[in-house]
Amino acid sequence: MIQERMVWLKAEIQRHNESYYNADSPTVTDFEYDALVRELKALEEEYPLFATPDSPTKQVGGKPQRGFATVTHTVPMESLNDAFSKEEVLAFDAAVRKALAGQAPEYVVEAKIDGLSVSLEYENGVFVRGSTRGDGVTGEDVTENLKTVKTIPQRLTKPLPFIEVRGEVYMSTDSFARLNEQREIEEQPLFANPRNAAAGSLRQLDSRVTAQRNLDIFVFNIQQATGAEISTHIQSLNFLKELGFAVSPMYRSFADISDVVLEIDRIGEERGNLPFEIDGAVIKVNDFTHRQLLGSTSKAPRWAIAYKYPAEQKETQLLDIAIKVGRTGVLTPNAVLSPVRIAGSTVSKATLHNIDNITAKDIRIGDTVIIRKAGDIIPEVIESVKEKRDGSEQIYQMPANCPACGSEVIREEGEAATRCVNPACPAQKIRNIIHFASRDAMNIDGLGSAILQQLADNDLIATGADLYYLKADDLLPLERMAEKSAANIINAIEASKDAGLDRVIFALGIRHVGSKTAKSLAQHFGDIDKLAGATKEELSQIFDVGGAIADSVTRFFANDSAIDIISKLRFAGVNLTYESNVKDNRFTGKTFVLTGTLPTYKRDEATAIIERYGGKVSGSVSKKTDYVLAGEEAGSKLEKARQLGVAVIDEEEFKTMLQ
């Protein structure tokens, strides 16, 4: 029974490690994860015969990911042992004093930044390489991405022959909120917390994406150095500041462990007021000679420990449930709470996620509920305290109509979300307009989200169709708008009228209709009126159009607001018919799937060529696939093609087919 529990714990921890370190998408809170690790560690100590060498308690961090070169750390980037109680901090002090044989240690206490640990290497004062921690011995080379972090100096104030430092890359809470807001507009999955947002941003294969994420860093350790003599941690932090680094904030030294405990509490009280996330306080022995005497285990130094703040929970009353309509039309129920102080801030609302969550937890209006704020920025309701009910509590039901526009809401099969699908819903206005003007839609150059937001805020536009009724004089009052810029935007709007029916369909923002499906619809129906009048049965017969898409299209055009938008576009002179650019029909009836990286063609270029010759491009391989065009690092699609006996061609064979 004990061995089975240990096997389960090991598998569960490794699964969470994969989600946290390698996918940057945690599935449990830090506190829940730490509890699993502590249980496994305790069982391994009590039953060493059942412990295995590959236990996650003996490993550090995640594995290097594909797409980055690997870096072997000359000085291992160790993890830290965790403490979850003041008693464990006192036990750490006792162990240190015992190992130092009567020598009195001095401690440095720092805030533990919740981010991604990296190494920075400098030669002759110039930044030459940056890498992630990885598994502590091997990490990822993310030099180009780290060069976009403004607080990482490219050149030090003193040209040391060599220095390697360790720091924590993080994302401020403000930057995190802005990033998730933008991802919501783009219908991308939201990051759970700033730590995972920072990790996901730093691991982007395109450094231009990283540059847009406003990452920051605090440096907290010198790994190795040539040309610098330093004997204490405090000296090293001060020296790092002299070199131009932003160092770990809130660090102080103490000779008495009781003062260390007080400092842990002080940092914890400040936690909710900081512009970045921390998940604990780190206690380090200050003197480097003492550190050498103490040494390290296979995973962590014996001269440091991380005190992890518990996931604070509080009871309060659920006064009401209010619906927030997001920019993608999702109706999210939020708890209106009797204000309560938790994790350094006063909380009066918390997310309830969706109606399934409310039903599963049997949460009712008027309940006494337990809320938590740990790791995630937004507090959440954990459960209701059913034994405190007096019978006045009310069972909650989602509204049948959107509170922002009054339209009927829908919940599609297999989805937890309830949505408003009205294209003119004011809550979705700015998201829909940004999508309408975007590159893959109407491609209106110069109309970024900031300008569109100003136009919407000034009631100059309510839908994408309103863009075609703007004049240059409407744009001039906007921030940083000159006459030439205004004229260029008006010209770009005018030019977009000939974008084509496929782009118009995609620009309308019909749920489930991507650019490929929009082209299939445009090719099949030829004009917008025939599409608007199509039945579900007619739609379902089209390549790449299934039942969910057919339902979504008919539902969209059944809305009066959609018909009004089409009328505005037609009156403005937007082309609502499809003009085929097929050169010849050599690929007519043929379906291609693209996989891997082609030597010369970009994927969208190859797609355009196939369509120009009458072919279709699909995203998945099936028996109906005629050709798989494979490049370097082709993955599972290539393997599936071989299993099904589908013809596999490379770029040279593809070019031969075009001759």
Task: Tell me if 115 sits within 8 A of 166, measured CB to CB.
Answer: no
Evaluate if pTM is beyond 0.95. Answer: no
Residue 128 lies in a domain: yes
Q: How far apart are CA 611 and CA 613, in angstroms?
A: 5
CATH at residue 378:
2.40.50.140
Question: 263 and 376 in one domain?
Answer: no
CATH number of the domain that residue 37 is part of:
1.10.287.610
| Residue 351: CB atoms within 10 Å | 17
The reported pLDDT for the residue numbered 463 is 94
Statement to judge: residues 215 and 84 lie in one domain: yes
Rounded to the nearest 10°, the torsion over CA 649, 653, 658, 659 is: -160
| pLDDT value of position 64 | 47
Whether the CB-CB separation of 429 and 421 falls below 8 Å is answered with no
Q: Are residues 381 and 496 in the same domain?
A: no
Least Cα distance to 164 among 76, 37, 282 occurs for 76
Residues 148 and 182 both lie in one domain: yes
Q: Which domain holds residue 463?
A: 426-572
Q: Which residues contact 639 (CB under 8 A, 6 or more apart)?
A: none
Say if CB 572 and CB 490 are below 8 A apart. Answer: no
- 495 located within any domain: yes
Distance from C-alpha of 603 to C-alpha of 597, rounded to nearest angstrom? 8
Based on the fold, state whether residues 154 and 293 are members of the same structural domain.
yes
Terminus-to-terminus CA distance in the chain, angstroms?
Answer: 68
Domain count, the chain: 5
Q: What does the DSSP assignment read for 263-301?
A: HHHHHHHHGGGSSS-EEEEEEEESBHHHHHHH-B-SSSB
Same domain (yes/no): 323, 287? no
pLDDT at site 294? 95
At which of 286, 308, 330 does a domain end? Answer: 308
Mean pLDDT, consecutive 10-residue stretches, the chain (659 aa), reads 79 72 56 75 76 69 62 92 93 95 93 93 95 91 92 93 96 87 74 84 82 92 92 96 92 95 92 86 96 90 93 89 88 92 79 91 94 69 93 94 92 86 88 90 89 91 95 90 92 94 93 87 92 92 82 91 94 90 80 89 86 84 91 85 91 89
pLDDT on residue 31: 63
Whether 324 is catalytic: no
Domain harbouring 611, CATH code: 3.40.50.10190
Q: What share of the chain is helix, strand, coil (3-state, %, to 5)?
A: 40, 20, 40
Domain CATH code at residue 454: 1.10.150.20
Is residue 413 situated within a structural domain? no
Choose the catalytic residue: 112, 429, 616, 637: 112
Q: Are residues 134 and 258 in the same domain?
A: yes
The enclosing domain of 251 has a CATH number of: 3.30.470.30
Task: Render 544-611 in DSSP notation, one character per residue.
Answer: T--HHHHHHHHHHHTSHHHHHHHHHHHHHT---B--------TTTT-EEEEESB-SS--HHHHHHHHH
